[in-house]
Amino acid sequence: MKNDYPHIPRPAIQPGGQEHLRQPTKPEVPDIEQAPLKYIALALVHLKNVFARLPVMIEDNSHPVDEYQPQTLSPETESTITLQAQWESSEIIRAVLITGPTGNITVQLGDRLWTLTIPASGFILISPLWLLLSRSDVRILTASTPGQYSFELMGHEDSRGNLV
């Protein structure tokens, strides 16, 4: 058989001979072989530390949040929509949907204040996001243009670490 790779020297295989692809000598790791229980203990401690963080990382989506308020706003009577918290504990808001006529609006969620413009399509979808709102945080939409608006917050109750 012709050697197709001239830069890699390969000895010719004799008829009936075998070419060993695996390493002919056994790999050795003397420090682990002398004290294997030490490395097993270190691995178990590392796994314990990793698993200890799991309860606070798990998100329970069984308590959904869907705070929704449609309302007609006119400058003479009212120009804000206020949403009430759905759960007694904190809420994780994953998306905000706003519909209404084209114009400028201000959205306040907790300590965040956004000035936005509703495009000609008539809606704004803010997602993905991860907002943590407590029960006492404000959820207000203020419009500068009169019209029919809707303000919706979607997410779930924050129950991280409260596994029962």
d(CA 87, CA 66) in angstroms, rounded, equals 10
> How high is the mean pLDDT of the chain?
81
Percent of the chain with pLDDT over 70: 79
Residue 96 sits at the vertex; the CA angle it makes with 102 and 90, to the nearest 5 degrees, is 145
Q: SS3 for 110?
A: coil
d(CA 43, CA 47) in angstroms, rounded, equals 6
Domains present along the chain, CATH in parentheses = 64-157 (2.60.120)
Q: Are 97 and 152 in contact (CB under 8 A)?
A: yes
Between 129 and 37, name the one with better pLDDT: 129
d(CA 91, CA 63) in angstroms, rounded, equals 10
Check pLDDT > 70 for residue 5.
no
Q: Does the bond joining 27 to the residue before it have cis omega, within 30 degrees of 0?
A: no
Task: Supply the pTM of this predicted model.
Answer: 0.61
List the alpha helices (DSSP H) in 53-112: 54-57
Q: What is the pLDDT of residues 27-72, one digit of tens each?
A: 677 776 677 788 888 889 999 998 888 877 776 777 888 888 888 8
